[in-house]
């Protein structure tokens, strides 16, 4: 089972508020917001579930959307609310302390769109993942859209190998073997990312299909831009034409199965079937 207290402790010190402002996060954000916007209508009610300090929520509120921000971390929600108030940004609908496996605070058919960027990184148990997606289905309106990010199996496993070299206190033979055998990672130290689940893409497709979603798109978010973000944004300053070609090719190659599995975070987009 997922230790939600460990997750909250991790986000009590991790600078999630500024994660999407460094080069790696900026590329992910720039790509994702441009994927999301064409699916939205101005009348949509949006739930940013696991939205942390509200990077996506705040941008969507600026653009006139009705957004509810929900997260496990009260600290991150307070950061989002403070930022909105101090910068004269249109208010979000609410800032709700919520666990993604229990959306009982929301009625059935409440939202047109749900952004699920985060919870699937952490839910170790299949029952928890099923409960999360079941709840997402329940609170989505008919034909509602889900945007769900996840960390693919090979990306996560290779990342743990890197930890073994650079942060050996976090990895030993046992948890290294576990992540390769099950996709589950449990950090041996009380620093950095604590617990993670790294599924193969076919498992994510199956998870949503079994909960009556029709798949619209499955892609790598950063594609071959993964681990090259700083150089890409240096290129942005030097050669905007070449930068734009790189982004075009990142998007063009993003559905390649090998790239999905190995190039950072991936994105599933699905529609609730009636």
The predicted structure's pLDDT at residue 20? 61
Which range is least confidently modeled, 33-37, 86-90, 246-250?
A: 86-90
Model confidence, pTM: 0.93
Phi, psi (rounded to 5 degrees) for 104: -65, -15
Name the token pair of 24.
């790696």
pLDDT at 21 over 90: no
pLDDT in tens, 128-162: 999 999 999 999 999 999 999 999 999 999 999 99
pLDDT at 5 over 90: no
Q: What average pLDDT does the chain have?
A: 92
Contact 56, 36 (CB under 8 A): yes
Contact 71, 98 (CB under 8 A): yes
**Strands annotated E in the chain:** 45-49, 66-71, 94-97, 111-116, 140-150, 184-186, 195-197, 213-220, 266-272
- Rounded average pLDDT over 176-201: 91
pLDDT at 4 over 80: no
How far apart, in whole angstroms, are the C-alpha atoms of residue 31 and residue 33?
A: 6
Q: Could you give all domains of the chain from N- to C-terminal order, each with its CATH number?
A: 4-152+199-223+255-272 (3.40.50.150)
- Rounded average pLDDT over 41-50: 96
Looking at residue 274, the DSSP 8-state letter turns out to be: -
CA max distance for the chain:
52
Contact 215, 209 (CB under 8 A): yes
The predicted structure's pLDDT at residue 14? 54
The predicted structure's pLDDT at residue 274? 74
């Amino acid at each position: 089972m997922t230790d939600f207290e460990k997750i909250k402790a991790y986000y009590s010190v991790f600078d999630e508020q500024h994660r999407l402002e460094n080069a790696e996060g900026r590329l992910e954000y720039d790509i994702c917001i441009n994927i999301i916007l064409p699916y939205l209508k101005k009348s949509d009610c949006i739930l940013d579930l696991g939205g942390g300090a509200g990077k996506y929520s705040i941008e969507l509120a600026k653009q006139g959307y009705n957004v509810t921000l929900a997260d496990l971390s009260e600290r991150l929600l307070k950061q989002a609310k403070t930022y909105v108030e101090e910068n004269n940004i249109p208010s979000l609908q609410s800032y709700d302390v919520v666990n993604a496996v229990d959306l009982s605070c929301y009625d059935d058919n409440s939202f047109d769109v749900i952004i699920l960027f985060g919870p699937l990184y952490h839910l170790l148990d299949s029952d928890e993942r099923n409960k999360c997606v079941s709840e997402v289905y329940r609170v989505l309106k008919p034909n509602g859209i889900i945007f769900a990010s996840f960390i693919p199996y090979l990306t996560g496993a290779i990342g743990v190998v890197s930890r073994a070299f650079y942060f050996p206190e976090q990895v030993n033979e046992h948890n290294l073997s576990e992540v390769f055998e099950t996709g589950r990672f449990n950090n041996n130290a009380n620093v950095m990312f604590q617990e993670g689940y790294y599924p193969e893409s076919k498992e994510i497709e199956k998870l949503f299909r079994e909960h009556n979603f029709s798949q619209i798109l499955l892609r790598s978010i950063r594609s071959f831009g993964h681990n090259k973000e700083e150089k890409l944004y240096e290129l942005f300053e030097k050669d905007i034409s070449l930068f734009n070609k790189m982004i075009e090719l990142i998007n063009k190659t993003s559905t390649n199965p090998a790239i999905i599995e190995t190039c950072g975070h991936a994105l599933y987009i699905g529609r609730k079937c009636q």
